[in-house]
Amino acid sequence: MANSRPEYTEEPRVLNDEAYYAELCKDEMVEVVMMPGKGKGVLSTVHFDIDDLVIEENALVCAQNLDDYRAGIKACGLTLTGLETPREALTRSATTSAMREAELPKHDEYVASLLPQVCTPCDNASTGCRQCYSSAEAREAHWKRSHRCLCEGTFDKAQAAAYKEFTEESWIQGGVDYSDTYNIAMHMFAIMFSGMMDGKTVAEVALPFEQLISCPWERFVFNYLLDDDDDGEAEADPESEAKRSKEFVLAKAMRLLRGIFKAAEDDELLTEHRLTRLLGAILLNGQERTPTSSWTSYTAWVKGACARSDYKSMKSISKNYSKLGYTTRGQGVYKVCACFNHSCEPNIQVSYGDANDETLVVNAIREINKGDEVCISYIDEDADYATRQSQLQEHYLFKCLCPKCTREEAELAKKK
């Protein structure tokens, strides 16, 4: 692939621990390297044909979106796997009582045979924890990874109050909803504090997060997400959700995070500088994850196990309620896959694997030669030149110089 070097309008921080990435990629068919003028990038170490698997990677951190968490949509805390039954998915999505109560053929048989562990609760469910899992193994892994620092069932009153305020806060600033960004940041701190409980140092627990390309949250502006009638005039109330400053929101987050993790103001790990860098890293590296719901597999099962009329009825319901196609929404941040650079002519794309969890499955969509850079599209590459450049500059802080943008910029210049 031709050079698609981004031209940064703000200088993000790029760290590259060669030993760290060498260990991550030792069994992969790609490598992470520093690229002149681009920072980190990912090169292929073999030839890939179209549709070949390039890499599969589990998330460094993933979390359910706060809106879905507040709504009580069940998902595995470790993998984001949806844990709703088809009936629960229909109850959530349907807009009428009649549809919510629609007959679902052999529903209980399906749940009993294919989903024997619909929801494994946290061991502290009896004392208030709402987290659930796809298996006992997932529950144990998540506890050690981070949940022991975010388990509502173990909180004292002060922690519970801080956690409640954090998860109920809108995290809107300047008209933009940052709730999922702040939620992922909270889970990042939980992973780090959990690591320190095992005797690791601040430097050791922070290493994977420090490697992510980052920029302070204060640098980001998302005008393309705002309504045209937002005139940007400040309101008198400094706590107005749409108009409050980033400094105000950061200070509130720090107060609540200190309450949740029982951290002192001079705590070496939980600092405002680290928080704002993590927020920037999430905005630059986060991947949306929306696993398909049990409704999809249930519909396919009905086709083979029930009468034709039952299947037609299920298809009709699915057509009317698009939300049935997915379960919870979430985000993930990855170690190697976070190093993919952007191109408006990408040669790879991400999808879901058979596990239908947070695993990032990356396949080639063009032929890739050994030594080529593998690039993904961060945005809708079919948008016009001006729209693409605006979104990339505001969200990812660079001007795109990929072959497509270079051609289109030259064509526009000729027309002037």
The reported pLDDT for the residue numbered 351 is: 85
Query: How many Å apart are CA 184 and CA 26, to the nearest integer?
Result: 28
The reported pLDDT for the residue numbered 232 is: 44
The reported pLDDT for the residue numbered 8 is: 44
Residue 368, SS3?
strand
Query: How many Å apart are CA 319 and CA 342, to the nearest integer?
Result: 34
Closest by CA position to 341, among listed 100, 49, 12, 113: 12
> Mind listing the pLDDT tens digit for each residue in 65-79?
999 999 999 999 999
| Cβ–Cβ under 8 Å, residues 85 and 112 | no
The reported pLDDT for the residue numbered 98 is: 84
Cα end-to-end distance, the chain, whole Å: 29
What are the E-state strand segments in 185-339? 287-289, 330-333
The reported pLDDT for the residue numbered 3 is: 46
The reported pLDDT for the residue numbered 231 is: 45
> Mind listing the pLDDT tens digit for each residue in 301-323?
999 999 999 998 888 888 877 78
Cα–Cα distance list, 295 to 121, 301, 414 (Å): 21, 10, 52
Neighbours of 219 (CB within 10 A): 15
Which residues of the chain carry a pLDDT beneath 70?
1-14, 114-118, 224-242, 354
The reported pLDDT for the residue numbered 226 is: 61
Q: What are 270's two structure tokens?
A: 């939980």
Closest by CA position to 360, among listed 11, 12, 54: 54
